[in-house]
Structure 1
Amino acid sequence: MAAGSGRFPRVAVLMGGMSAEREVSLSTGHECAKALREAGYDVVEVDAGRDLVARLAEIRPDAVFNALHGRWGEDGCVQGILEWLKIPYTHSGVLASSLAMDKSRSKEVFRTAGLPVVDSVIVSREAVAEGHVLPPPYVVKPNNEGSSVGVYLVHPGSNAPRLAETMPAQVMVETYVPGREMTVAVMGDRPLAVTDIVTDGWYDYDAKYKTGGSRHVIPADLPQEIADACLDIAVRAHQALGCRGLSRSDFRWDETRGLAGLVLLEVNTQPGMTPTSLAPEQAAHQGISFPELCSWLVEDASCDR
């Protein structure tokens, strides 16, 4: 793509920010900015802070590439600012972003759409420490963080966990689903592939972002029925939340239960775009280079609709 040939020749890439996922966002942002320059865009990298409105007024971008992760950048807040400024931006809008970031409310949407989810409750941090609020095994995690930040896996026979003070006052406790970890990226309304995520243990923050932390098998070696179900559920979840641009749906599959063992965990409206990230791998599997993927996201940018 020649410079200026697209709808949005000047692009501000928002990265960093103020969430627990700041470092991942910086990595994502730098990679995306590099790819967009290769594609011919005039790119300005912005470490998004409290002066964001003033910085964007100074830069006057044609569009914003949102490479932020976590609260504030992924939960509808930055999207609302960009709506107010009337600057087209990549990925999902205000409502879809806020719904997807709130794991409890997004599950309600998925249940209404007939998608498979597991039981969970929202309780106080103190209640978790006082005793098991669900039969083990279960998972305790923030209701509105991503990248496996602050996730506790409680095994049968274990004591109720004492959560770190950095955990929010209210947390989600969710039934643990054994089996394989899989994911599907959706580009527009097109599912790209099913990836099987292979780790030696829990798919935690280090497994996601450190080199060698996990191995990605693409396409996943699955029965056709399961692969088709993953692709279908990912698109339906993307549409149920009202996502646009790129999203990624995460699954667990208990092979011993067949199709009944397939569970949708969550939808990420700002999937990672680092060298070890899943969505760019799936795009490459479909013959879409990283610069082409980033360019597509920019040209898909809009204000909420």
Structure 2
Amino acid sequence: MSALIKLNNGISIPQIGFGCWKVDKATCAQQIYDAIKVGYRLFDGAQDYGNEKEVGQGINKAIADGLVKREELTVVSKLWNNYHAPNNVKLAIKKVLSDLQLDYLDIFYIHFPIAQKFVPIEEKYPPGFYCGPNGWEFENVTLLETYRALEGLVDEGLVKSLGISNFSGALIQDLLRGARIKPALLQIEHHPYLTQEKLIKWAQAQGISVVGYSSFGPQSFLELDSETAKGAVSLFQHETIKAIADKHNVSTAKVLLRWATQRGLLIIPKSNKKERLIQNLQINDFDLTEQDIAEINALNLNLRFNDPWTWGASPEIPSFI
């Protein structure tokens, strides 16, 4: 079992969860079931991942088989860009809960600080970057309007904790000025090529827990045919990471995950292999030295693999410039 992290609303959640991004629908339900069987209790999903029905099947089978109780799980989803208008937030949560076959979510994030044009569920779901026959289009909706609609979901008991994802510090600061319920979590891309030290330090100082995704850096984006990822040295093969792993007699993957948790972050790795699933839950059984952490931090290149600027919108989306 993973260690628990207490959020700013008093709710405790596992520090290590299972990331559902890119989990194939054909095997997803069984992977979720197997993950619960070996000890995972947090499942990080999203509307845009397109596999929430299968995630729900795995969760509900595990509950029905007596492996776990619903209240022992932390089930996560994210509001996709096409549902930012307040009247569409309720449509989104109803669809998510229907797909998962659950009565409530433990955590609901705003996936990106981007308001795309609404696409009806019956037209295309999940819509991805689709905005209709005219291509990229956006809606004039502020982040605070969207967030206040999410606060309403908490009031109704449909969501327990709120999060924001892929937000810059300035956007978070502005949101905090108008939010009634402080975000409990911030999810960001985080690996040695993108350490985001200032953002993490600032968010944690505000009492916002930080979740790192793509802990293995370019590895997560190779199957997406990312030229940026293909041009980067694999962190599994990086000489600095390999040397630290050899010193501690652990895998390079374990070094990368422990580096994140030792900085106080939550993580959401995934694996198709049962033995790796178990290993990922056991990464906190050793400590990196201060020198190890400094050497890993020094690998920072401010290299972002998940950047809306590269999505092909016209004009480009300036999320991180």
More helix by share: 2
TM-score normalised by structure 2 residue count: 0.31
TM-score normalised by structure 1 residue count: 0.32
More strand by share: 1
Larger RCO (alpha carbons 8 Å, 6+ apart): 1
